């Protein structure tokens, strides 16, 4: 195919068709979008003289997918507010630390167990630690779980992961690409990311009265232009200082959620979120080469999936418990953020750029594909999974016993 507009039209038609199929079978749409993207990507098979691969439009579709991630995270931010996150700051820091420590340690053990050299082990740990903010955002919105008690912790962990990512990519780039790492540079990257995120939230909150006046615009066209300008400028600037643009979009959403125009902004954003969000998962599928998904990489990725499922569930239970959430809400944390995506692929590409073992790329592609498909399913069926696990591990009865023990000393004093 050589006509770019026609290619984009076909891409949208394929996404729409796969969405209709998913709705018919009452299945999560995300796996369908990814699989149809794989089927027509630049790496897909060419049948005789018939070539249905999306090649010329791949870059444009990828850019549209990036915009989709921004809208997904921006909308998620609108569902919350800076005030709610500030109140939960201490428990989010504790939960984020627990999540990173458990998943990163398991990633190191996995890489070492697979017999990889040190640099490859560090890349594997990065691939298995960072969850996909785009998939998590999409799942929360699709399943209407933005108002759930555990969603605050999930959002906090996503932001915490971004600070970790800024530090880790700095270290890994130094080790893999240049053979050395500057401690000062690493600390500076982490400090900049942290100060920027906190600064934007604090300053944004102070600016809410001004934003209320500035956004009092009658024209729908001008209102849309102003909102989009704020979103893209802040997200783009975030990227220039090595904070993920998606996190920049999330921060803008959190600030604008405090304004009296939040409902109007949500109404404006929803069609863009749905359209570009679907394109993101299709574009993600385009990047996966089906020919690499087999052999040794398949077994390595299956082992990594098992480790990630265990690590996420335990981390979710412990993080939720530290925030005083119920066992069921805590298990929802681990099952919701189990998906891996864009950040894992970035880690694998870093390994490729550094000339590390070639198996890292197919390993990451297969691992991400399995969890991108499995993650939304586990989140959707979290109620049944929790009930089944509770029969074995007795989470509820232990929780009730723990709560009773906490109340007992107070009762005795009275």
Tell me the C-alpha distance between 66 and 115, whole Å.
35
Structural domain including 330 reads: 60-404
Q: Which two tokens stand for residue 298?
A: 């398949």
Burial of 352 (0-12, 13-18, 19+ CB in 10 A): middle
What's the pLDDT score for residue 221? 95
Is 311 part of any domain?
yes
Residues of the chain with pLDDT under 70: 1-2, 44-52, 170, 174, 177-183, 185-186, 408-414
How far is residue 167's CA from residue 163's CA, in Å, rounded to a whole number?
A: 7
CATH of residue 227's domain is 1.20.1530.20
How far is the C-alpha of 406 from the C-alpha of 414, rounded, in Å?
Answer: 14
What is the predicted pLDDT for the residue at 186? 66
Kindly state whether residue 46 falls inside one of the protein's structural domains.
Answer: no
Q: What does residue 408 show for φ and ψ, rounded to 5 degrees?
A: -60, -50
Mean confidence (pLDDT) of the chain: 85
Question: What tokens appear for 146 in the block?
Answer: 């933005």
Q: For residue 168, what pLDDT is reported?
A: 82
Looking at 207-241, list the stretches that DSSP marks H as alpha helix, in order from N- to C-terminal side.
Answer: 208-214, 220-240
Structure-block tokens of residue 152:
């605050």
Count the residues in the chain: 414
In a domain, 409, yes or no: no
Q: Tell me, yes or no, whether 22 lies in a domain.
A: no
Partners of residue 50 on adjacent β-strands? 47
- Tell me, what's the pLDDT at 33? 87
C-alpha–C-alpha distance, residues 108 and 374, integer Å: 23
Quote the pLDDT of residue 38: 83
| Residue 86 within any structural domain of the chain | yes
Cβ pair 121, 104 in contact under 8 A: no
Q: Name the nearest CA neighbour of 160 among 216, 266, 89.
A: 89
Question: What pLDDT sits at residue 233?
Answer: 95
pLDDT of residue 48: 62
Per-residue confidence (pLDDT) for residue 318, from 0 to 100: 93
Q: Are 341 and 284 in contact (CB under 8 A)?
A: yes
47: β partners: 50
Give dist(CA 32, CA 335) in Å, integer. Answer: 20
Domain assignment present for 52: no
Closest CA to 22 of 35, 39, 11: 35
User: What's the domain count of the chain?
Assistant: 1
Q: Do the beta carbons of residue 370 and residue 348 sit within 8 Å? A: no
Q: What pLDDT is attached to residue 129?
A: 93
In a domain, 29, yes or no: no
292 located within any domain = yes
């Amino acid at each position: 195919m050589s006509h770019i507009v026609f290619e984009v039209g076909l891409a949208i038609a394929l996404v729409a068709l796969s969405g209709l199929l998913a709705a018919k079978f009452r299945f999560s749409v995300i796996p369908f979008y990814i699989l149809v993207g794989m089927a027509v990507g630049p790496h897909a098979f060419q049948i005789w003289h018939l070539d249905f691969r999306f090649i010329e439009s791949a870059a444009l579709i990828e850019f549209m997918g990036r915009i989709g991630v921004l809208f997904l995270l921006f909308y998620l931010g609108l569902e919350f507010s800076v005030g709610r996150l500030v109140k939960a700051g201490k428990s989010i820091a504790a939960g984020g630390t627990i999540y990173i420590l458990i998943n990163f340690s398991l990633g190191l053990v996995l890489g070492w167990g697979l017999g990889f050299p040190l640099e490859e082990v560090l890349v594997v740990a990065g691939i298995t630690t960072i969850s996909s903010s785009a998939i998590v955002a999409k799942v929360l919105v699709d399943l209407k779980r933005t108002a759930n008690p555990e969603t605050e912790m999930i959002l906090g962990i996503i932001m915490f992961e971004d600070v970790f990512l800024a530090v880790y990519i700095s270290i890994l780039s130094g080790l893999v690409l240049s053979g050395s790492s500057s401690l000062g540079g690493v600390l500076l990257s982490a400090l900049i990311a942290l100060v920027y995120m906190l600064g934007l939230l604090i300053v944004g909150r102070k600016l809410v009265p001004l934003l209320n006046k500035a956004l009092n615009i009658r024209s729908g066209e001008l209102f849309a232009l102003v909102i989009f300008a704020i979103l893209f400028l802040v997200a783009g600037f975030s990227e220039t200082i090595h904070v993920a643009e998606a996190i920049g979009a999330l921060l803008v959403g959190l600030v604008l959620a405090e304004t009296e125009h939040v409902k109007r902004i949500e109404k404006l954003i929803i069609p863009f979120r749905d359209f570009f969000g679907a394109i993101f998962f299709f574009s993600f599928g385009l990047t996966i080469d089906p020919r690499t998904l087999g052999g040794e990489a398949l077994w390595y990725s299956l082992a990594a999936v098992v480790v990630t499922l265990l690590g996420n569930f335990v981390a979710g239970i412990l993080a939720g418990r530290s925030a005083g959430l119920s066992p069921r809400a805590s298990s929802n944390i681990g099952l919701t953020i189990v998906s891996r995506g864009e950040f894992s692929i970035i880690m694998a590409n870093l390994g490729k750029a550094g000339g590390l073992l070639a198996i890292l790329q197919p390993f990451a592609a297969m691992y991400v594909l399995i969890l991108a498909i499995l993650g939304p399913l586990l989140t959707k069926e979290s109620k049944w999974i929790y009930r089944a696990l509770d029969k074995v591990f007795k989470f509820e009865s232990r929780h009730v016993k723990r709560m009773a023990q906490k109340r007992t000393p107070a009762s005795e004093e009275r």
